Amino acid sequence: MSDLRRTSVQDLLRSTELDREVLVKGWVRTRRGNKYVQFIAVNDGSGFNSIQVVANAEQFPEEKLKADGVDNGAAVAVRGKLVASQGKGQSVEIQAEEITVYGTADQDAYPLQKKGHTLEFLRGIAHLRPRTNTFGAVLRIRHAMSFAVHKYFNDHGYFYIHTPIITGSDAEGAGQMFRVTTLSDTKPPLNEAGAVDYSQDFFGKATNLTVSGQLEGEVAAMALGKVYTFGPTFRAENSNTARHLAEFWMIEPEVAFFDLQDNMDLAEDFLKSLVRYALEHCPDDLQFLNDQYDKELLNRLKFVVENDFQRLTYTEAVDILKGAKQKFEFPVDWGTDLQSEHERYLVEKHFKKPVILTNYPKDIKAFYMKLDEDGRTVRAMDVLFPGIGEIIGGSQREDDLQKLQQRMQEMHVPEEDLWWYLDTRRFGSAPHAGFGLGFERLILFITGMANIRDVIPFPRFPKSAEF
Amino acid sequence: MSDLRRTSVQDLLRSTELDREVLVKGWVRTRRGNKYVQFIAVNDGSGFNSIQVVANAEQFPEEKLKADGVDNGAAVAVRGKLVASQGKGQSVEIQAEEITVYGTADQDAYPLQKKGHTLEFLRGIAHLRPRTNTFGAVLRIRHAMSFAVHKYFNDHGYFYIHTPIITGSDAEGAGQMFRVTTLSDTKPPLNEAGAVDYSQDFFGKATNLTVSGQLEGEVAAMALGKVYTFGPTFRAENSNTARHLAEFWMIEPEVAFFDLQDNMDLAEDFLKSLVRYALEHCPDDLQFLNDQYDKELLNRLKFVVENDFQRLTYTEAVDILKGAKQKFEFPVDWGTDLQSEHERYLVEKHFKKPVILTNYPKDIKAFYMKLDEDGRTVRAMDVLFPGIGEIIGGSQREDDLQKLQQRMQEMHVPEEDLWWYLDTRRFGSAPHAGFGLGFERLILFITGMANIRDVIPFPRFPKSAEF
């Protein structure tokens, strides 16, 4: 069968050229049938649907198929004729002429042999779960969203910047960091004060894994104008929740000459374009997730595309929350950060649509956000999504050197670590803005999955770095 | 000027709609002129070329411009009329009506004020070098190549897989690794043997930064069929050379049902498509690099697109090298790894084109490569490029469980760390192949730059993790 070129299952399923010889390679999902005919579903990962292979018992007796290992999980090549299907559920099928088994899967040992595994069980076999319907769908959607991100920015004149993963400073103060070192773990060199002498470490200083590429992104935006990052970021927080990962991917556009209004427009257009891309490019995978896990998924996605996000200030939101009839666990007061319950009330009950909150009190936001004229709030924006909460956080940045230095002093951010960042305000400073989108939060929203560990191939969280 | 929407410099330069009011925002590259008229070159990063702003001395006397800081490095907004240029070197220019300065750059303090900086000097101000012609060009090309990578794979039905950055095992044995930890650096918990007790570390085990996503990529390929990774990888090697980085980006496609031949076809088609994309999408930036640094750059790129790569086995290459008239520093003997001088002889002198070497001796290659029938060589392939040497390394993978286990034993790769990897050969194993492309090596080739530290925004190397 070597002269015949292989066709992907998806191409076969879309094919209108029938009654021709085809070659397909993939894995057996199911084999069923009777003593006259066996039906073998073959999937090669190219899409959600498998192709049905019809094996006539005269040429392929059930005992022979079984003995050869043509069973759930086996890798096979099938040569045969592509014909219109006589059964329900598919338009074409393959009449098998030759079946080759590359690798079998012992049905007693194969962890995926039985149906209806829990998502938790599948997390323990993350190396096999991409073979299931659910994770095949999630990973294909994850790919589609990654590509949609790059395509959106490329089409709009942005340049992709690879910001460093290993960093010499905890610039954002965004949380606990992972230390990166090559020093001896039991006998590191010490200085006179008895502390570890990091001048002898690989980089000549203490280094950590990045929590954000934003500051380097700002540097690039002040030269290339419109840039974005898309890379891994890290938090060493002991959060064993369905919403946190120790290693996750983040998208951070940063744009020179953008103000808060431009930033909101970008965030809304960007998110809508991503959702629209998923609806257009992943209909089969989304339909399965909608039917299997979340009957409101497709409606929710369409709703986001079709409706304007509600924009209001933090101060206006506090007024709404104070007037709400609902009882909250945490009290709402101007100056305190909003809790998840408050955000959900605004998005899911009050406005019933995505919300962009702006102009937060300066004390609950990062040092680099631009001060409003009132001196009390900053030009921050959070985009809140139904079921997810904050999906985007961003701001216009402080472009005034002295105001920035003052905020750094007030918030105890050491200037000597960020001399290069301050240089962008010393030389040719300009208004600019940007935001961060947690990629896994996006995938949670798009797939309707409930646990963030189920939307990344190999999740990293406390006590878990397997695979 | 707020009602007028800003246009990018590149869009203005391409515009055929003249004699209209426009608004441009960017940074001053140069200001020159006389007492009648001043010429201000404004660049916003959107492309290589700046737009010329013509400022009439009646409205904009030189002293006034100088006092306002309209000088090299300043961020400005210019409103004016887009007209056909009366000078040479550009087709359109802006007759200034209003100039607003956002941020000045003190000409005595600004490090980029003088011309002709060395690349080495610019490495020390990596936060400002994107504002230079050279690094603007390099970073725009880097973006174009990133996008071309994603586009190629997306167009060809591959799925992007984010493989983990933090890993529990040194799977490939590819070199020294960076340790990742949150334990105390001076008083880590010890076990009874006096070693650090990593069961108390964040992940419950010792963890490092990944050297390759290949093994996880193989896992994904055995479910999704065609996948690729594109992410950061790390080597803690004390290599202070123009060819090594401690942190770099790698692209690793992995394809089920591919053999070595398919793998070579993919590598050649992929590389050619990337070079073609650069030639089509980055003509201005490439022309500048060609003229400034490497007069053969464009010819070399075109040559790669237009010619087939030479394919031969390692054994054939050794015969050629043994028969060569050239004296080598290192002797050539079957079984030893080829040195850079040998690779360059084959590519630059003997064949005068890119070369794919295959079927290397098993002892100089990794444990996961598929054994040839002779039991002495493996189905490896290295793609060698002029001026670069090895740009791609790959192989068909060993898909036979027992042969793989035997190679792991021989090469002292612990099975218990890779139980999940071995599962892919236990359940539904299939032929598959893939390769790794060092992204910065690619950018070196495309840009003609000589030092790998000049093709990544913020290079990481021994004693350097600044910015």
Set out the domains of chain A in order of their start, with CATH numbers: 9-103 (2.40.50.140), 129-176+211-454 (3.30.930.10)
Q: Using a CB-CB distance cutoff of 8 angstroms, which residues of chain B are in contact with residue A136?
A: 223-224
- Yes or no, beta carbons of B102 and A10 under 8 Å apart: no
Q: Using a CB-CB distance cutoff of 8 angstroms, which residues of chain B are in contact with residue A176?
A: 182
| A199–chain B Cβ distance below 8 A for any pair | no
**Crossing angle for the helix pair B439-447 and B283-292, to the nearest 10 degrees:** 70
B393: confidence class by pLDDT, cuts 50, 70, 90: very high
- Yes or no, beta carbons of B209 and A236 under 8 Å apart: no
Cβ neighbours, 10 Å, residue B250: 22
Rounded Cα distance, B79 and B87, in Å: 20
Query: Measured between CB atoms, which of B194, B202, B426 is closest to A236?
Result: B202
pLDDT in tens, A153-193: 999 999 999 999 999 876 555 568 999 999 999 999 999 99
| A119–chain B Cβ distance below 8 A for any pair | no
Rounded Cα distance, B21 and B9, in Å: 14
Residue with tokens 């590259």: B29
- HEC string for A276-316: HHHHHHCHHHHHHHHHHCCCCHHHHHHHHHHCCCEEEEHHH
| B131–chain A Cβ distance below 8 A for any pair | yes
pLDDT in tens, B175-220: 689 999 999 999 999 999 999 999 999 999 999 999 999 999 999 9
- When pLDDT is averaged across residues B244-248 and rounded to a whole number, the result is 97
- Yes or no, beta carbons of B225 and A26 under 8 Å apart: yes
Cβ neighbours, 10 Å, residue B98: 12
Q: Using a CB-CB distance cutoff of 8 angstroms, which residues of chain B are in contact with residue A6?
A: 257
Q: Over 90: is that where the pLDDT of B90 sits?
A: no
| B124–chain A Cβ distance below 8 A for any pair | no
Q: Using a CB-CB distance cutoff of 8 angstroms, which residues of chain B are in contact with residue A203?
A: 246, 460, 462-465
Burial of B239 from C-beta contacts in 10 A (0-12 / 13-18 / 19+): middle
Rounded Cα distance, A210 and A212, in Å: 6
- Yes or no, beta carbons of B185 and A163 under 8 Å apart: no
pLDDT in tens, B56-84: 999 999 999 999 999 999 999 999 999 99
Residue with tokens 């003593």: A35
Which of A115-124, A184-193, A435-444 has the weakest average pLDDT?
Answer: A115-124
Contact B332, B357 (CB under 8 A): no
Q: Is the dihedral of CA B195, B199, B201, B206 positive or negative?
A: positive
CA atoms within 13 A on the CB side of B302: 8
Which residue would you say has higher pLDDT here, A69 or B90? A69
In angstroms, the separation between the Cα of residue B399 and the nearest Cα of chain A is 9
DSSP reduced 3-state for B349: helix
| A47–chain B Cβ distance below 8 A for any pair | no
- Yes or no, beta carbons of A196 and B205 under 8 Å apart: no
Rounded Cα distance, A25 and A168, in Å: 48
pTM of the model: 0.97
pLDDT in tens, B255-311: 999 999 999 999 999 999 999 999 999 999 999 999 999 999 999 999 999 999 999
The pLDDT of residue B172: 58
| A109–chain B Cβ distance below 8 A for any pair | yes
Q: Using a CB-CB distance cutoff of 8 angstroms, which residues of chain B are in contact with residue A178?
A: 166, 180-182, 202
Q: Over 90: is that where the pLDDT of A390 sits?
A: yes
Which of A23-27, A108-112, A245-249, B6-10 has the weakest average pLDDT?
Answer: A108-112
Q: Using a CB-CB distance cutoff of 8 angstroms, which residues of chain A are in contact with residue B27?
A: 223, 428, 430
Tell me the residue type at A45: G
Query: Measured between CB atoms, which of A225, A226, A420 is closest to B467?
Result: A420
Contact A427, B103 (CB under 8 A): yes
| A4–chain B Cβ distance below 8 A for any pair | no
Strands B247-256 and B226-234: antiparallel
Rounded Cα distance, A399 and A421, in Å: 11
From residue B44, alpha-carbon distances to A220, A428, B133, B285 in Å are: 11, 12, 12, 15
Structure tokens at B196: 């650090």
For the beta sheet containing A380-385, the strands, ordered from the edge strand earlier in sequence to the opposite edge, are A159-160, A226-234, A247-256, A432-438, A389-396, A380-385, A355-358, A310-313
| B27–chain A Cβ distance below 8 A for any pair | yes
Strands B37-43 and B20-33: antiparallel
pLDDT in tens, B131-175: 999 999 999 999 999 999 999 999 999 999 999 999 987 655 556
- When pLDDT is averaged across residues A38-44 and rounded to a whole number, the result is 98
- For B145, nearest residue in chain A (alpha carbons): A160
Rounded Cα distance, A76 and B109, in Å: 68
- When pLDDT is averaged across residues B394-423 and rounded to a whole number, the result is 95
The pLDDT of residue A114: 65
Cβ neighbours, 10 Å, residue B159: 26
- For B106, nearest residue in chain A (alpha carbons): A427
The pLDDT of residue B3: 78
The pLDDT of residue B171: 59
pLDDT in tens, B304-345: 999 999 999 999 999 999 999 999 999 999 999 999 999 999
From residue A446, alpha-carbon distances to A146, A382, B116, B228 in Å are: 12, 19, 50, 22
Structure tokens at B344: 């360059």
Rounded Cα distance, B467 and B108, in Å: 23
Q: What is the mean pLDDT of chain A?
A: 95
| B422–chain A Cβ distance below 8 A for any pair | no
Rounded Cα distance, A203 and B464, in Å: 5
The pLDDT of residue B41: 97
Those residues with Cβ within 8 angstroms of residue B213's Cβ, 6 or more apart along the chain or in another chain: B161, B163, B164, B229, B231, B233, B250, B252
Contact B339, B358 (CB under 8 A): no
| B277–chain A Cβ distance below 8 A for any pair | no
In angstroms, the separation between the Cα of residue B389 and the nearest Cα of chain A is 24
| B393–chain A Cβ distance below 8 A for any pair | no
Count of CB contacts below 8 A, A vs B?
341
In angstroms, the separation between the Cα of residue B424 and the nearest Cα of chain A is 8
